Chain A
Amino acid sequence: MRTDRREITAFFGALCLFLSALEYLIPKPLPFLRLGLANLPLLIGLRFFEPADLILVLFLKVLGQGLMNGTLTSYVFLFSLTGSVVSVFMMTLVYRFGGRYVSLVGVSLSGALGSSLAQTMMAVLFIFGDTARIIAPFSIGAGLVSGFLLGLFAEKFVSASGWLRKVEKRYRESLGKPEIPEIPEEVK
């Protein structure tokens, strides 16, 4: 059924929205010290989503975060958008090329790294000027810690969740390729 694909994509987008709301409840001592819970659906969806759907989930996530934090119409939204796009790009890259040599911890870390680097660059080049360099280590450090923890959780979740197996199966069936693709031999 084709609706399954749509449904699952929308569901993951909604999950991002929910997690943004959840994260909003957690007090932040500093604005850039965030957990990035909303990245979780992207992280666990990376293994089965088609690129087009993954990008859709990405934009739903950015939209949801903007709505939840009330930053949708401010310049903060640009940070969020840039960070998320770069992060998903990095994660996809690492996931595709890393194959079985990389776990979601590494994938998540590279996403966090890409995101915080992009945001720092943006702050320095376009918005706050050179003085924004001072927060670079904090923002990158915080991003790495939360990226690591999130990756660890995602890896555990993916290997343990029966729910995710079912979702994956439904998604693949709706694509018309029910087989879970094997990692090709030459990667070894």
Chain B
Amino acid sequence: MLLLRKLDFLIILFSLSVLTASVFWSLPEEEGKRRAEIEASGEKFIMPLSRDGAMEFEGPVGRTRVEAAGGEVFIAQSDCRDGICVTMGRISEPGEWVACLPNRVIVRVVGGKSEEDTEVDAGAY
């Protein structure tokens, strides 16, 4: 095209490369093994679900104990008033979460999907 000049092509090229870079940038990260991500008092902790274990966190209202057992994670005990976090029960699927808001502890499951998750379920079907 007559309209376009030298530098235009350079800018077009540059724009397209930025666009391509943004595509790669937007791709979700490597999923990795399934794990629990725990946010407590502004810090981030990671707890594997592949083995049993427990972690304790100090928060504004006391201690919160997060336990992993049999591939599930749950809040076993917390010094909060209502104990909603404990009654929220056990979680194991990516995207699920339990939290103790008074004590600022948030537990989320992230990482690879299990075998049955990748199949079409009744709802999707």
Contact = CB atoms under 8 A, between A and B. Distances in A.
B19 A103 contact: no
A110 B10 CA distance: 11
A140 B22 contact: yes
Nearest to B10: A106
Given A94-B11, A109-B12, A137-B23, A117 B4 contact: no
A146 B110 CA distance: 37
B26 to A, nearest CB: 5
Given A109-B12, A109-B15, A113-B18, A136 B7 contact: no
Interface string B2-29: 0111111011101110110011011000
Contacts of A75: none
A36 B93 CA distance: 42
B4 A103 contact: yes
Provide the main secondary structure of the chain B interface. helix
Contacts of B25: 133, 136
Contacts of A102: 5-8, 11
Contacts of A120: 22
B11 A109 contact: yes
A30 B92 CA distance: 34
A137 B14 CA distance: 14
Given A103-B5, A137-B19, A144-B19, 6 more contacts: A98-B7, A103-B4, A105-B3, A133-B26, A140-B19, A156-B3
Interface of A: 94, 98, 100-103, 105-106, 109-110, 112-113, 117, 120, 133-137, 140-141, 144, 148, 152, 155-156
